[in-house]
């Protein structure tokens, strides 16, 4: 059987029916804009601060775009039983879930480049290390998507998915060094910060944009990759345990 | 005839409930096999285990000769599944839904589009091909779900309550399609609440009650013990208390049973005369609306084996909106 046909059609259907809808596209534009504006005004330091804000805005745009979209769409499909149709298809389970999450990862990456394009008009991005930035964006999108999958498997209602997403997302904004350095956090919060995947993503993006990173790129990206594998594996295990019981 | 489906000693427990308790059966290649039982008997759990949506606690499953007990994915390309509730994508059109389902089986674009058009035509859904599935009527949804189940031309088809809750014309069309698939050699595993439907369509039937198969045989053999019986069904506007005992006393040769909806069912090994029976009922305060001879059917066998009124079971299922 030509597995790529199934893989591509699952991914393309999700992109078409969920992610490329006008409300989501506008959300992808407005949300990073609002965050950029908020921190821009708050910092009061003019256009010079754009490169310092960019990694945080990019990470938030990815995090909010992917986690909520994937957790809501999977919960919705589970609720109306169309997810069963995928489980009954003769596709390896891991490949099926990669196709299902692939759309959200691409959507997250597209969201990430909205603030980058806007920043390109206002600041000099010629010093950005794209070789680190792009893999960093990809891994943050993948980790956030798999976090969304983990949330989707843990709840049964769409509204629960939204609530549970926020339980993870909002603390991550403040604990992961997106806008405030992890070093400035109280001592008792630092271990929590290092237990969150976005900390390593934010560090890699800061390093790629303005060179202000605490850990080596290889360590950041490896740990982010490890979080991706871990979250994906736990979610798959959970789906098999709960939905194919 | 080789077996398309083979199940041995299958068990499934949900917390404290034994949903399936050691069932064994086989379905021959090209056979139309009915799986009948009251609500909660274990029919859908069995289908879920056979198709890979549930894991058996114990037992063995072979589909199309492939052992898929521990690896349900191994045989999924051989089977088509029509679940008891339509599970297509509400945001896609009928045509897009069929094309998407075909793509899940690796069918190339040109072939899946032509197959989708062919099925839309077969099911008289071509005028609704470009309408979203969410806007379809119950009957149309059911037909499209069946079409999605056979889009990849599976040699084995699982049909879970295919005609429940839909209009008479759509149900009739689906029954004709099932018969046609059967004629073409598809192995069909059918669960239904309509016993007359199973009697008309199936080669063999298994009755499942409380997770156990209590009887499994051809329709002819199942019906044979009751075929010699004479049955009278009397509809009453009012049935006085204790009439069952009085009837049994006055007509000892009859087996009398009251059923829901104001019916008295009288069964005998000899022909039942209408006049004396109706007179007796009216003299005893019953208001008889209708009395008719009934042909003993599979329904009688079902009631005697399961103890469940077929009418009550059907009404309960339809009240729940079963099938859609």
DSSP codes of every residue in B118-187: HHHHHTT-GGGTTSBGGGS-HHHHHHHHHHHHTTT--SEEEEESTTTTS-HHHHHHHHHHHHHHHHTT-E
Chain A interface includes B11 (CB < 8 A): no
- Please list the ranges in chain A whose pLDDT falls under 50: none
In this predicted structure, the answer to whether residue B206 has a pLDDT above a threshold of 60 is yes
CB contact under 8 A, A85 and B54: no
Cα(A114)–Cα(A122) distance, integer angstroms? 13
- Give the domain extent around A73: 3-243
Out of A1, A88, A91, name the one closest to residue B53 (CB): A88
Q: Which fold has domain B3-224?
A: Rossmann fold (3.40.50)
| Average pLDDT, integer, range B83-92 | 91
Cross-chain Cβ contact B52/A93 below 8 Å:
no
What integer is the mean pLDDT of B168-194? 93
Residue B104 and residue A2: Cβ atoms within 8 Å?
no
Helix, strand, coil content of chain B in percent (nearest 5): 40, 30, 30
Residue B179 CA to residue B190 CA, distance in Å, equals 12
Are A81 and B87 a contacting pair at CB < 8 A?
A: yes
If you average pLDDT over every residue of chain B, what do you get? 89
pLDDT above 90 covers a percentage of chain B that reads: 56
pLDDT tens digits along B2-51: 799 999 999 999 988 999 999 999 999 999 999 998 888 899 999 999 99
Per-residue pLDDT, A45: 66
Q: Which tokens is B312 given?
A: 């009550």
Pick A88's closest partner by Cβ from B52, B103, B106.
B52
Residue A57, φ and ψ in degrees, nearest 5: -65, -40
Residue B205: band (very low, low, confident or very high) from pLDDT cuts 50, 70, 90: very high
- Does pLDDT of B167 surpass 90? no
CA distance B55 to chain A (A): 6
Measure CB to CB from residue A82 to each of B52, B73, B89 and give the nearest one.
B89
Q: If one looks up domain B230-295 in CATH, what number appears?
A: 3.30.70.100
Residue entry with tokens 């119950």? B138
What CA–CA distances, in Å, run from A137 to A203, B9, B31?
11, 52, 55
pLDDT reported for residue B88: 95
Give the model's pLDDT for residue B318. 60
- The pLDDT, as a whole number, for residue B130 is 97
CA angle B83, B318, B127 (to 5 degrees): 60
- With CA atoms as reference, the chain B residue closest to A95 would be B104
B214-268 pLDDT tens trace: 999 999 898 887 777 888 889 988 888 888 888 888 988 888 888 777 888 888 8
Question: Using the beta-carbon criterion (under 8 Å), do A9 and B77 form an inter-chain contact?
Answer: no
Residue B315 confidence class, pLDDT cut points 50, 70, 90? low
Task: List the one residue out of B107, B51, B49 whose CA is nearest residue A88.
Answer: B51
Decide if B107 touches A, using CB distance below 8 A: yes
Judged by DSSP in three states, B42 sits in coil
At residue B312, the pLDDT reads: 61
Q: pLDDT per residue over B49-63, tens digit each?
A: 999 999 999 999 999
Query: Can you give the pLDDT at residue B268?
Result: 86
Q: What percent of chain B has pLDDT over 70?
A: 94
User: Which positions in chain B touch A3 (Cβ < 8 Å)?
Assistant: 106
For residue B91, the distance in angstroms to the closest alpha carbon of chain A comes to 7
Residues of A within an 8 Å Cβ radius of B: 1-3, 5-6, 8-10, 13, 17, 80-82, 84-93, 244-245
At residue B233's C-alpha, the angle toward residues B228 and B234, to 5°, is 150
What does the alpha-carbon distance between residue B119 and residue B99 come to, in Å, rounded to a whole number? 11
DSSP code of residue A82: H
Q: Do B103 and A84 touch (CB under 8 A)?
A: no
User: How close does chain A come to B95, measured CA to CA in Å?
Assistant: 13
Query: What is the count of structural domains for chain A?
Result: 1
Is residue B323 pLDDT above 50, yes or no?
no
* Cβ-contact B148, B123 below 8 angstroms: no
B38 vs B207: which has the higher pLDDT? B207
- What are B287-314's pLDDT values in tens digits? 899 998 887 788 878 887 777 766 666 6
Largest CA distance in chain B: 74
DSSP alpha helices (H): ranges in chain A? 3-14, 22-43, 50-79, 82-87, 93-122, 130-154, 158-175, 190-194, 197-210, 217-243
Q: What is the ipTM of this complex?
A: 0.87
């Amino acid at each position: 059987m030509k597995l790529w046909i199934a893989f591509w059609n699952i991914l393309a259907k999700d992109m078409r029916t969920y992610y490329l809808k006008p409300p989501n596209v506008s959300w992808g534009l407005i949300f990073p804009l609002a965050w950029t504006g908020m921190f821009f005004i708050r910092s009061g330091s003019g256009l010079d601060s754009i490169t310092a804000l960019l990694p945080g805005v990019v990470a938030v745009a990815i995090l909010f775009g992917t986690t909520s979209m994937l957790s809501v769409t999977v919960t919705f499909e589970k609720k109306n039983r169309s997810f069963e149709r995928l489980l009954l298809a003769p596709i390896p389970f891991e490949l099926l879930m990669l196709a299902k999450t692939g759309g959200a990862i691409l959507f997250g990456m597209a969201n990430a480049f909205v603030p980058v394009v806007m920043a390109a008009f206002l600041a000099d991005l010629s010093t950005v290390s794209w070789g680190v930035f792009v893999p960093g964006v990809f891994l943050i999108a993948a980790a956030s998507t798999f976090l969304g999958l983990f949330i989707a498997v843990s709840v049964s209602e769409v509204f629960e998915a939204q609530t549970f997403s926020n339980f993870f997302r909002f603390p991550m904004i403040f604990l992961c060094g997106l806008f405030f350095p992890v070093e400035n956090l109280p001592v008792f919060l630092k271990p929590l910060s290092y237990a969150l995947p976005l900390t390593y993503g934010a560090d890699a993006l800061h390093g790629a944009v303005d060179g202000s990173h605490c850990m080596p790129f290889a360590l950041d990206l490896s740990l982010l990759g490890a979080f991706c594998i871990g979250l994906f594996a736990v979610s798959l295990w959970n789906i098999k345990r709960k939905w194919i019981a | 005839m080789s077996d398309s489906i083979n199940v041995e000693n299958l068990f499934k427990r949900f917390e404290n409930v034994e949903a399936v308790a050691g069932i064994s059966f086989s379905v021959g290649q090209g056979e139309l096999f009915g799986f009948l039982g009251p609500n909660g008997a274990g029919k859908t759990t069995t289908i879920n285990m056979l198709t890979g949506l549930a894991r058996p606690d114990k037992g063995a499953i072979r589909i199309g000769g492939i052992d898929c007990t521990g690896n349900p994915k191994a045989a999924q390309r051989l089977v088509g599944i029509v679940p008891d509730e339509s599970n297509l994508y509400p945001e896609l059109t009928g045509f897009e839904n069929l094309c998407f389902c075909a793509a899940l089986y690796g069918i190339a674009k040109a072939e899946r589009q032509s197959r989708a058009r062919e099925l839309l035509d077969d099911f008289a859904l071509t005028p609704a091909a470009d309408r979203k599935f969410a806007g379809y009527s119950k009957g149309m949804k059911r037909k499209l779900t069946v079409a999605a189940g056979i889009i990849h031309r599976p040699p084995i088809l699982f049909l879970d309550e295919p005609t429940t809750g839909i209009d008479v014309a759509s149900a009739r069309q689906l029954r004709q399609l099932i018969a046609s698939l059967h004629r073409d050699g598809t192995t069909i595993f059918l669960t239904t609440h309509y016993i007359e439907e199973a009697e008309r369509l199936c080669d063999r039937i298994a009755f499942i009650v409380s997770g156990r198969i209590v009887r499994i045989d051809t329709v002819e053999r199942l019906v044979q013990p009751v075929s010699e019986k004479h049955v009278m069904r009397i509809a009453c506007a009012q049935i006085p208390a204790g009439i069952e005992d009085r009837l049994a006393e006055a007509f000892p040769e009859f087996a009398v049973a009251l059923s829901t909806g104001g019916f008295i069912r009288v069964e005998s090994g000899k022909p039942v005369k209408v006049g004396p029976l109706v007179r007796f009922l009216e003299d005893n305060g019953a208001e008889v609306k209708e009395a008719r001879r009934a042909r003993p059917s599979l329904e009688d066998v079902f009631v005697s084996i399961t103890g469940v009124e077929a009418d009550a079971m059907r009404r309960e299922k339809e009240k729940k909106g079963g099938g859609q």
